[in-house]
Amino acid sequence: RRYRVAAIAGDGIGKEVMPQGLAVTQLAAQRFGIDVEFVHIGWASCDYYAEHGKMMPDDWKAQLQDLDAIYFGAVGWPATVPDHVSLWGSLLKFRREFDQYVNLRPVRLFEGVPGPLANRQPGDIDYLVVRENTEGEYTSVGGLMFEGTEREIVIQESVYSRHGTDRVLRYAYELAQKRPRQKLTVATKSNGIAISMPWWDSRADAIGKDYPQVQVDKQHIDILSARFVLQPQRFDVVVASNLFGDILSDLGPATTGTIGLAPSANLNPDRRFPSLFEPVHGSAPDIYGQGIANPIAMIWSGALMLDFLTEGQGQGRAAHDAIVQAIEHALAQGPRTPDLGGSASTAELGQAIAQRLQAG
Ligand code: NAI
Ligand code: MG
């Protein structure tokens, strides 16, 4: 079958890394017999906003919802559009309206990229962070009272539904079960947050009954964060609520060197709506226009997309692995963009990965 994918470059370096991402993803798709058609979309960008006074056309949902995926660059150009307007007017609408309840971020240390942690070898850091992406601490339930007086009070609730918690836990167990180490770490804080977090723990136990092979380890978020730095080799799959997962999924990639490598997937595993694949980084206005952005996060996100689109059929996994191997090779051998300590351009690094993919 043919997979139809929206390609939305967005703003800043999103426009520079997208062509490299498209080229490598398309090449891998062809090599492994996956039929992908990209539909190029110019909206969901601050350029569109400048012309139309909004980030997207009113029928954006109708245009996207029957596609299989969204391949997304980055959005945001704070010099012309405030960040909360650009983000809430595009990316956050996709995540919510398309019920992308899993935010998946692979974290890996590569040969040739000295991360900030001393004495770490590739292999020591190789895990997946699964963040709940729709509820939890990120709600608008609450309020500010007695504003401006000494009695001022602010309250914001966390909301965890059984449906929302169980589905992200189940996704994480499934993922852990398929990995060689079959380990799942559940981020929690049941000592301090004594109502909702013990409940999270109990849901983790309940869902875990269906996955007896998976070894489960519940860790409080504070010590878990310390171990991301001190003992990263302990982790395989880590699942967390929205806020805890947000923090862990920035901390993890930070331990592996440049943000220019980190990919992410915003998944609707039920496949009722398109899932979205994007680099973790933003539009990087400070380097935009120089052609020096690292394209690897964008390229790796394309690999995650091919894997997800054809899940269970093998070719997508093979295409993913071939792309990651080509990335590994380029990181070990060069060329390198400035964030990796070199002076290569976005296109040179992207083409080196494409050539490696073609060769092997
Ligand atoms: P950023 O990720 O754009 O940049 C942070 C730093 O990392 C900058 O110094 C940048 O040059 C560097 N960097 C980022 N990606 C790189 C790459 N591929 N290669 C080499 N260096 C790279 O984050 P920042 O500066 O906080 O935000 C800039 C804009 O991007 C804002 O408008 C923000 O709202 C937006 N943003 C959008 C995101 C998205 O679309 N998912 C995520 C994060 C920020
Ligand atoms: Mg974040």
Strand order in the sheet with 35-41: 35-41, 2-10, 69-74, 275-279, 263-267, 102-108, 126-132, 237-240, 183-188, 215-220
Distance 282 CA to ligand 1 centre (A): 3
Pocket of ligand 1 (CB under 6 A): 13, 74-76, 78, 83, 87, 91, 259-260, 278, 281-287, 293-294, 297, 339
- For the CA of 279, the nearest ligand: 1
Upper half-sphere CA count for residue 121 (Cβ side, 13 Å): 1
- Among the atoms of ligand 1, which is closest to the Cα of residue 75? 40
**Closest C-alpha to ligand 1, atom 36:** 282
Question: For the chain, what are the domain ranges?
Answer: 1-101+259-360, 126-254
**Closest C-alpha to ligand 1, atom 27:** 282
- Among the atoms of ligand 1, which is closest to the Cα of residue 279? 41
1-101+259-360 matches 126-254 in fold: yes
Distance 116 CA to ligand 2 centre (A): 19
Fold topology of 1-101+259-360:
Isopropylmalate Dehydrogenase (3.40.718)
Fold topology of 126-254:
Isopropylmalate Dehydrogenase (3.40.718)
pTM for this model (two decimals): 0.95
Selection from 244, 204, 206, 200 nearest residue 225 by Cα: 244
Containing H/E element for 248? helix 242-254
Which of 281, 299, 300 for mutating ligand 1's site (highest number of atoms within 8 Å of CB)?
A: 281
Distance 246 CA to ligand 2 centre (A): 5
Residues 6+ apart with CB under 8 A from 346: 13, 16, 17, 20, 291, 292, 293, 294, 295, 337
Q: From CA 120, how far away is CA 118, in angstroms rounded?
A: 6
* Tens-digit pLDDT string for the chain (360 aa): 999 999 999 999 999 999 999 999 999 999 999 999 999 999 999 999 999 999 999 999 999 999 999 999 999 999 999 999 999 999 989 999 999 999 999 999 999 998 898 888 888 999 999 999 999 998 889 999 999 999 999 999 999 999 999 999 999 999 999 999 999 999 999 999 999 999 999 999 999 999 999 999 999 999 999 999 999 999 999 999 999 999 999 999 999 988 899 999 999 999 999 999 999 999 999 999 999 999 999 999 999 999 999 987 889 999 999 999 999 999 999 999 999 999 999 999 999 999 999 987
ipTM of the complex: 0.98
